[in-house]
Amino acid sequence: MITAMNSTIPLSLKIDQVIEGIANQGYVVIEDFFSLDVIAALRQEARQLHLAGAMQRAATGKENMAKLDAAVRGDLIHWLGNTEPSAVQQDFFTCMEQLREALNRHLYLGLFELENHFAIYPPGAIYRKHLDQFRGNEERQVSCILYLNEDWKAEDGGALRIYLEGTDSPPAIDVMPHSGTLVVFLSAKFWHEVLPARRERISLTGWFRKRSDSLP
């Protein structure tokens, strides 16, 4: 089984899989990029933040234009990086830093920073079809979504639907938010949406960014 094998594959080979996927098709889905204990500890953190009331309704749009609209986006988020990182966050950042360096080395993406938030979608919540780059701001170059849901079943729903041809129409693939699955894609290119789930759906989402002054 891929899942069982993948957990014994060294990080450098999994990073190679990401590079190859991005280079060839602009997106990639990898199972077990992180170890099970890292995933479990991240899930625990997200749950605790939620219980502590430290997650906020996510807005769409930017700063003064930001809107809260559950018909567009119904998740709760918590940005990482405002407090000292926990041990598991440090492990996560160390792996993502290796990924960032590899993306720069092989694909010349000029990524300099990662921004991350936990996201919890209550049952029924969606995120309508969108691109991750804000209009007029191309800093977000590569989107990375790590799912933290134990025993996710097909009937739970909640797929990430990724449209493959640079438009907001099919063909599309559906990625189920299984624990340990990491999805990486070029932020400028892929329209995507989160379909409603029957149960709470937890993820850790991040974007590798380019400096705005290095953009053309």
Question: Which residues contact ligand OGA by CB under 6 A?
Answer: 119, 127, 132, 145, 160, 192, 194, 203, 205
CB environment 57-94: b (16+ within 10 A), e (fewer) = ebeeeeeeeeeeeeebbbbbbbebeeeeeeebbebbbe
Residues in the chain: 216
Closest approach of Cβ 195 to ligand OGA, in Å?
Answer: 9
Q: How many CB atoms lie within 10 A of CB 97?
A: 11
Q: Pick what 179 binds: ligand OGA, Mn ion, none; C-beta below 5 to 8 Å, kind-dependent.
A: none
Give the 3-state DSSP-derived string for 8-76, with helices as H, strands as E and coil as C: CCCHHHHHHHHHHHHHHHCEEEECCCCCHHHHHHHHHHHHHHHHCCCCEECCECCHHHCECCCCCECCE
Q: Measured from the CB atom, is 9 or 164 closer to ligand OGA?
A: 164
In three-state secondary structure terms, 114 is strand
Closest residue to bound ligand OGA by CB: 160
Distances (CA, A) of 130 to 126, 188, 198: 12, 10, 22
| Tokens (6 digits) for 182 | 């990491």
Are 117 and 180 a contacting pair, CB within 8 Å? no
Q: Which does 194 bind (CB under 5 to 8 A by kind): ligand OGA, Mn ion, none?
A: ligand OGA
How far apart are CB 12 and ligand OGA at their closest, in Å? Answer: 26
CB of 132 to ligand OGA, least distance (A): 5
**Window 16-55: residues binding Mn ion (CB under 5 A):** none
Q: Is there binding between residue 75 and Mn ion (CB under 5 A)?
A: no
Do 192 and 129 contact (CB within 8 A), yes or no? yes
Residue 149 partner contact from ligand OGA, Mn ion, none using kind-dependent CB cut-offs of 5 to 8 Å: none
Give the nearer residue to Mn ion in terms of CB position, either 45 or 132.
132
The distance of closest approach from Cβ of residue 130 to Mn ion in the complex, given in angstroms and rounded to an integer, is: 6
The footprint of Mn ion on residues 110-149 (CB under 5 A) is 132
Residue 64 makes CB contacts below 8 A (sequence gap 6+) with: none
Among Mn ion, ligand OGA, none, what does residue 32 contact (CB within 5–8 Å per kind)? none
User: Please, which residue, 41 or 181, has the CB nearer to Mn ion?
Assistant: 181
Partner whose footprint covers residue 116, from ligand OGA, Mn ion, none (CB < 5 to 8 Å by kind): none
| Cβ closest to Mn ion, residue 6 vs residue 61 | 61
Binding site for Mn ion (CB under 5 A): 132
